[in-house]
Structure 1
C-alpha cells in the first residue's frame, strides 16, 4: 500500500485530491455537520412544543440508535477510506445499482440540507441586530440571508480544501468553547431540579396514542440533528492516515455532540425562569438564553450560534461536493467528466461546488412563498439521508450473515473492528434505521401540514416525494446511465495490478 494514497489505487482510483487534512480537521468536519448549536437552537422549540420538557429523553434515545450506525460506519471507514463514503461503501457491500440509489438519495438530501441549514440565519441574526431584517416578510428575508451564506460557503469550498478546513476547524473550536461556557452559565442559573425532564405538560392529551404519540413527534427534533457524522470519512482522500483517523473522528463527533447537546438542553430546561411560558414553544433556546443570561450576554452566545450555522453549512456542502465528485468519476451522473474535473490550481472539484450552491439557492427561491412545502422538502431530505444509511447497513448485515465481512485485511494495517459485537450492533443499527424512517415519513398533519390550507398531498408529502425521488432517479439510472457507468479513464489508477473490481 502506498504511503501517499492509503490504498486508493486498490479501489481503482488515482490520487487527485490533495491530502492535507489532519485528525482534528476530520473530527471538525463531522461535528460541524451535526452542529449542536445549529440543531438545538433551530429545533428546540419544535420538540418542546410537541413533547414538553420530557422531550429531552429523545436525545439519549436517538444517540443510542445512531451510535449503532456510527460503529458500523467506523469499520467501513477503516476499510474503505474513499470520497463519497456512503456511495462507495454501498457499492462494495452491495451492487452498483444499490450504490447509485444510496448516492442519489444522499446527494439530493445534502443539497436540500444546504438550503434548510441556511434558513437558520433567519432564526438568529435578526435577534442580534435589526439590521439583518432586510425584508418585512420573514420568509423573504430568510431567503436573502440564506443565499448570502450559500454564496460564501460555495466560494470557500471552491477555493480549496485547506481554506475550508481552516475556517471549519476555527468555527468548531469557537463553537465547542461557546457550548461549554453556555453549559456552565446555564448550570449556574438553574431554578429547578433535573426532575423537570419528567414533565409532559399534558402534550399527549390530543393524541390517540397518548404521550407516546406526542413523544414520537417531538423526537423528530433530535432525529433532525444527530446525523452527518459520516462526513469525517467522506474526506478520506484528502486526509492523512484516514484508516486510523476517520473511525475515531466519526465516533468522537457523535459522542461529543451527544454529551454537549444533552447538557445544553437539560440545563436550559432547569434554568429558564418559567417553564410554562408559552414563548418557549415559539422562541426556543434563543428565548431561554436571553431570558436566563440577559440581552447582552445572550446576544454574544447568539453570535456563536451564527458561527456554528456557518461552518455547519460549509461542512454539509463539502460532503455534497465529495459525493457528487465520487459518483461523477464513476460516470454515474450526467456530464460526469465535467463534474469530476479537479481544478489544477485549487485541487478541488470546483464545478460540483458551484452546482450544489446554485441548486440550494434555487430550492430557497422556489419555496419562498410556500413555507409548508419547504417544511415537507426539508423533512424529506433528512428521510433520504436515513434511507441512504440503510442502503449501507443492510448490505453490510447481509455480508455478515454470509460470512463475507470483514473483508481480507492488508498486512501491516491496523483496522478498527467491532469483533463479535459487529453482528448485534449491525442488527440494531438496521432496526433503528428502519424505525426512524417510518417515524419520519409517518403522515401527520402536525408535522407536514400544520397550518391552513390543509392538503392531503402535503400530509402524505414525505411518502409521495421520497418515493417519487427514488423512482424517477432510479428510472433515469436504469434506462440511461447504468450501461455507461465505470471509472472514467482520467480518474483510473495507472497500475492495473493494484486495482480491485469496481463494478
Structure 2
C-alpha cells in the first residue's frame, strides 16, 4: 500500500523575491522572519517593560497620578499613524520602510531627509534603550553599580547613576552589535524568545501590582504627586513617557525584505504590536500608581516602578520580575539596532548614504548588512560617551530621539495625505490573493488627524524645558538642545545630500539595479 507524501507548506520565498524584483531590487537579505518574529520586531522595539520602567518616575514626577491620561491620548494618536503605516507596508514591502515610503510618496529628496532624520533618531534610540539597564540591574544586585561601587547612588539622575548607565549601555551595545552581525535568524530567535519573556513578565507584574493595591484606580483622576506649577504644562511634559514608549511599531516594516509574505504579514504585525503594547502599558501604569507605598513622599518619582516592586514583593520576588525587565531591555536594544541598520542599508544601496559601498553591502556568509549594524552601534556608543558627565542623559536623549522619530514619521504621513487626496494610493492584492490592507473611506480623516497629532507632539517634545534638558540649570544651550540638535541634523543633512547629488550627477533613482521582471507565474499584483 502506498503511503501519501506528507503535505508541506508552500514555499513563499521565490514569489516574495520576485515581488521585490518588481521594485528593482535583488533578494540579498535572507527571508527567515515569520509572522511571530515580525510581530516581535515591533513589540520589542516598543518594549513596554523597558520604556515604562525607564521613564515611569519622570512621568509621575511631572504629572502625578493624572499623568496616566497621557497614555490613552498618545496611544490614540499613534494608532492613527500605525493605520497609515499599515497601508504603506502592504504596498511597499521594502527595507528602510520610512525612507522608501516617503521617497515613493513625495520624491527622493523629501524621502532622503526623512530617512536621514530617522537614522539619527534611531541611533539615539539605541543609546537610550541601552542605558535603561541602569533602571533595573543595580536594583537586582548592587554589584552592577560599577561606577562608585555598590554603595554609590544608582538613581539615573545622579552623577554616579548616569555614568554607570553609560558603562552598562556600552557593554550591551557590544553584545547587540555582535548578534546583528551574526545573522537575522539569531536575531529573530532571540527577539521572539525575549518577547515571550516580556509578555509573561507584563502579566506577572500587572497581577502582582493589582494584588498589592494601596488605593483605588480612581486616583488617576487626581493630580496627587504632581510637581509645582501650571498643571497643563506639567501634564504635557509628562507625556514624554508615553510618546517615548509608543514608537517603533514600524520596525516590522524595516524587516519586510526578510519577512515571508510581507504584504499580508507586516500590516497586521504593526497594528498588533502597538495595540498589545497599549493595553499592557496602561495596566502597568495603573498598577504602579495604586500599589506605590506613597504618592507624595517623592519615592515614586525617584525610584519608579523598580522601587514599587521591591517594596511590595520583597527582594526575591521583586528581583525575579526585574530580571524579566532586564531581558526586555536587551531585546529592545537589539530590535532598535536591527531596525536602524536596515534603514542605513536601504539608503546606502541607493548610493544615498556616505560610504555607500560599505554600508550597502550584505555579507554573503551571514546574509546581514554588517557594516550598517556596526555603524549604528558605534553611533549609539558615541552618543552615550559624550553624555558621560550629563545627569540629564536619560531625559535629554529620550526627548531628542523621540522628537526626531516623530519628525520622520511626519515625513511619511503628510505626503501620504497629499497623495490620498489626489486619489493616487495604489491598490492590489497580497501574496494570498486578498485585497491589500486599506482604510477605505476612513483614510482621509484618519490621515488628517495623524498629521495634526504628530505636529502637536513634535512641538511638545522639542519645547525647551529646563526640567527635561538641563536638570542642573543655568546652561542655556542644554535647555535649547533639542531645537539646536534638530537644526544641526538638518544642516548636516543638507551638506551630505548635496554632495551625494553632485557626486552621482543628480537625484536618487530608486531601484536602480534594474533586475529582471518576475515571471507571470510568480507575479504578485504590484502597485501602480
TM norm. shorter chain > 0.5: yes
Match of 2:331 among 311, 318, 332: 311
Structure 1 contact 329–487 (Cα < 8 Å) conserved: no
Q: Which residue of 2 aligns with 1:79?
A: 91
What is the CA–CA distance in structure 1 between the aligned matches of 2:526 and 2:481, rounded to whole Å? 40
Classify the secondary structure of the residue corresponding to 1:3.
helix
Structure 2 contact 41–335 (Cα < 8 Å) conserved: yes
Residue deviations 1:187-239, cap 9 Å, x none? 212221111101212736522xxx21111011111111110000011100001
Note the C-alpha offset of 1:295: 1.4
Q: Which moved more, 1:371-380 or 1:390-399?
A: 371-380
Note the C-alpha offset of 1:9: 1.1
> 2:470 matched to 1:449?
yes
Cα–Cα, structure 1 residues 495 and 337, in superposed 2: closer, same or farther, change >3 Å?
farther
Classify the secondary structure of the residue corresponding to 1:417.
coil
Residue deviations 1:426-446, cap 9 Å, x none? 001000000100100111221
Q: Which residue of 1 aligns with 2:106?
A: 94
Q: Which residue of 2 aligns with 1:417?
A: 438
Note the C-alpha offset of 1:408: 5.8
What is the CA–CA distance in structure 2 between the aligned matches of 1:399 and 1:15, rounded to whole Å? 29
Cα–Cα, structure 1 residues 474 and 314, in superposed 2: closer, same or farther, change >3 Å?
same
Q: Which residue of 1 aligns with 2:263?
A: 243
What is the CA–CA distance in structure 1 between the aligned matches of 2:238 and 2:476, rounded to whole Å? 22
Residue deviations 1:357-413, cap 9 Å, x none? 112112211221233467434422211100000000000000011111245668945
Structure 2 contact 22–526 (Cα < 8 Å) conserved: no
Match of 2:515 among 490, 493, 496: 493
> 2:279 matched to 1:267?
no
Q: Which residue of 2 aligns with 1:252?
A: 272
Match of 2:496 among 458, 467, 476: 476
Residue deviations 1:261-288, cap 9 Å, x none? 1001112211222222311110011111
Q: TM-score, normalised by structure 1?
A: 0.94
What is the CA–CA distance in structure 2 between the aligned matches of 1:289 and 1:374, rounded to whole Å? 21
> What RMSD, in angstroms, separates the aligned Cα atoms of the two structures?
2.3
Question: Size of the alignment, in residue pairs?
Answer: 498
What is the CA–CA distance in structure 1 between the aligned matches of 2:169 and 2:79, rounded to whole Å? 31
Q: Which residue of 2 aligns with 1:53?
A: 65
Residue deviations 1:90-123, cap 9 Å, x none? 0111110110001001111111111111111112
Q: Which residue of 2 aligns with 1:458?
A: 478
Note the C-alpha offset of 1:4: 3.2
Residue deviations 1:155-213, cap 9 Å, x none? 00000000000001000100001110111121212221111101212736522xxx211
> 2:170 matched to 1:147?
yes
Write out aligned runs for 1:54-203 (5 A): 54-136=66-148, 137-201=160-224, 203=226
Q: Which residue of 1 aligns with 2:460?
A: 439
> 2:299 matched to 1:279?
yes
Structure 2 unaligned segments of length 5 or more: list them.
1-11, 149-159
Structure 2 contact 197–324 (Cα < 8 Å) conserved: yes
> 2:240 matched to 1:220?
yes
What is the CA–CA distance in structure 2 between the aligned matches of 1:90 and 1:62, rounded to whole Å? 23
Q: Which residue of 2 aligns with 1:11?
A: 23
Q: Which residue of 1 aligns with 2:51?
A: 39
Q: TM-score, normalised by structure 2?
A: 0.90
Residue deviations 1:238-262, cap 9 Å, x none? 0111111101100000000010110
Structure 1 contact 333–481 (Cα < 8 Å) conserved: no
What is the CA–CA distance in structure 2 between the aligned matches of 1:130 and 1:99, rounded to whole Å? 47
Structure 1 unaligned segments of length 5 or more: list them.
none
Match of 1:398 among 404, 411, 418: 418
Structure 1 contact 376–448 (Cα < 8 Å) conserved: yes
What is the CA–CA distance in structure 2 between the aligned matches of 1:250 and 1:197, rounded to whole Å? 29
Classify the secondary structure of the residue corresponding to 2:136.
helix
Match of 1:351 among 368, 371, 392: 371
Cα–Cα, structure 1 residues 173 and 408, in superposed 2: closer, same or farther, change >3 Å?
closer
